[in-house]
Structure 1
Amino acid sequence: MTLSQPLRPTSLHEEVAARLRSMVFDGQLQPGSWIDEMALVEQWHISRTPLREALKVLAAEGLVTLVPRRGCQVAELVEGDADDLFPVMALLEGRCAFEAARKATDADIAELRALHGQLEQFAATHDVDGYYRTNHVFHSRVQALAANRWLDRTTGDLRRFIRMLRGRQLHWPGRIEASIAEHRALMQALADHDAPRAERLMHDHLIAQLQALKALRRAAATAPAAVPAE
């Protein structure tokens, strides 16, 4: 290969890594489960080399764990991880909202309003999956509008672990209604270019997610065990 030869936009192992990452985020690969490498090789008609390289990428991101002589296991957040992670994300996403409120153009605000409109529809029909997916896009867009490469890098790295929870907190009774109300206030602060208010509202929005997650955890811990059928 000569230096003048065009490079491929992505290599095969990067494509495989992107597919595996999506499977982790969508729950097709469950936390704590072992990845069946041979099954994926056969299903995707690839050799084991790009798959193993892709798994090394996900291991570096913290999404999977490579276990010598056993294989590869999907990472699992333990109880204390969310308690530690959400406050940090609240600070980071709050800063994203602060900088986005200062820098967003009219076109940017219109784009956020369109996403917020989709959230309103999903909340009205209590479509948790649709709400979660659009909510991820909305938060990612606010992060991009902050236009701070250091903030973007740090927030993006931690957002991967937030995504592993797949919006579990939205299943807490009343949470989706509370979430959309928080989004309405945040959207208005962004539209008003009120950076301090946007920062505070985004921070509190993330903390409210953690509180709902903890409420779900407590409810599960105190729920009576199912009685086996006779």
Structure 2
Amino acid sequence: MSAFTLTPRALYEEVAEGLRQRIFQRELEPGSWIDEMKLAEEYGISRTPLREALKVLAAEGLVTMKVRRGAYVTEVSEQDLTDVYHLLSLLESDAAGVVAERATEAQLNDLRRLHDELEATACPGHVDRELFFAINERFHMRLLAIADNRWRDQVVADLRKVMKLNRHNSLLKSGRLVESLAEHRALMAAIESREPQAAAARMREHFASGLEAAT
């Protein structure tokens, strides 16, 4: 019997996750150069696992590798956002239709619970934007999980990482959280009424409004 064992997580994956979160939190700004030597020293690692981590982030679209210039945090253009939102709209509207048609009562309860959390987070006068965004993402990911298509989930996960590069701009739009919440109510109503076409339409409208706020 082999004594070979795998570690729970490779070092470069841990580094990639750390950098991913720093990018999402704007510690590493879009367009900024990534200082490999400084980061390697900060993490106490060689540049090899760091470069492997950067390759992972480059594959996700979060980092751009430039010949003889190194790695940069990706800057998302207006066209990039339009393309990402278009694809997310197609994929998640299809998922919403599937959920409206097939979800069990227990699965609907999961969505209701998350929606209620979203409502509670958006109380007038005390809006936690970061928490709202986190719960919103959990709602969307739960809806996708219920629709149960792992290939769609994989594509959506990568697209949402790119979308996060611009998320703060959309959050700052006046009234956007209130609009987003109203769109979620309409989506939930269509899903609970078991109307697949209406649910898909509400999700498309949700992404159309999100794109308008983000650009």
TM-score normalised by structure 2 residue count: 0.90
Give the SS at the match of 2:72. Answer: strand
Aligned to 1:85: 84
C-alpha distance in structure 1 between counterparts of 2:162 and 2:120, whole Å: 26
Shift of 1:3: 4.9
Aligned to 2:117: 118
C-alpha distance in structure 2 between counterparts of 1:36 and 1:56, whole Å: 15
Give the SS at the match of 1:94. Answer: helix
C-alpha distance in structure 1 between counterparts of 2:9 and 2:128, whole Å: 34
Give the SS at the match of 2:122. Answer: helix
Aligned to 1:20: 19
Alignment of 1:170-209 (within 5 A): 170-209=171-210
C-alpha distance in structure 2 between counterparts of 1:82 and 1:46, whole Å: 34
Shift of 1:167: 4.5
Q: Structure 1 stretch 29-38 or stretch 2-11: which is displaced more?
A: 2-11
Alignment of 1:69-108 (within 5 A): 69-108=68-107
Runs of 5+ consecutive residues of structure 1 not aligned to the other structure:
215-230
Shift of 1:201: 0.5
C-alpha distance in structure 1 between counterparts of 2:3 and 2:200, whole Å: 47
Q: Choose 1 or 2 for highest CA Rg.
A: 1
8 Å contact from structure 2 (residues 191, 199) kept in 1: yes
8 Å contact from structure 2 (residues 60, 162) kept in 1: no
C-alpha deviations, 1:58-83, integer Å up to 9, x for none?
11222111223322101111122222
- Count of aligned positions: 213
C-alpha distance in structure 2 between counterparts of 1:167 and 1:134, whole Å: 15
* Overall identity of the aligned pairs, in %: 45
Aligned to 1:62: 61
Give the SS at the match of 2:202. Answer: helix
C-alpha distance in structure 2 between counterparts of 1:41 and 1:50, whole Å: 9
Equivalent residue letter for 1:83:
T
Shift of 1:53: 0.7
Q: Structure 1 stretch 32-41 or stretch 3-12: which is displaced more?
A: 3-12
Equivalent residue letter for 1:133:
A
> Does the C-alpha gap of structure 1 residues 213 and 62 become closer, same or farther in structure 2, counting only changes over 3 Å?
closer
8 Å contact from structure 2 (residues 167, 214) kept in 1: no
Structure 1 ranges of 4+ moved more than 6 A: none
Aligned to 1:36: 35
C-alpha distance in structure 1 between counterparts of 2:169 and 2:96, whole Å: 23
C-alpha distance in structure 2 between counterparts of 1:158 and 1:128, whole Å: 21
Root-mean-square deviation over aligned CA pairs = 1.8
Q: Structure 1 stretch 9-18 or stretch 78-87: which is displaced more?
A: 78-87
C-alpha distance in structure 2 between counterparts of 1:57 and 1:163, whole Å: 17
C-alpha deviations, 1:86-142, integer Å up to 9, x for none?
122111110121122233222222222221112112221232222112111111111
8 Å contact from structure 2 (residues 166, 214) kept in 1: no
Runs of 5+ consecutive residues of structure 2 not aligned to the other structure:
none
Equivalent residue letter for 1:134:
I
Equivalent residue letter for 1:86:
Y
C-alpha distance in structure 2 between counterparts of 1:3 and 1:21, whole Å: 35
C-alpha distance in structure 1 between counterparts of 2:24 and 2:143, whole Å: 20
Equivalent residue letter for 2:141:
S
Give the SS at the match of 2:7. Answer: coil
Give the SS at the match of 1:7. Answer: coil
C-alpha distance in structure 2 between counterparts of 1:170 and 1:200, whole Å: 23
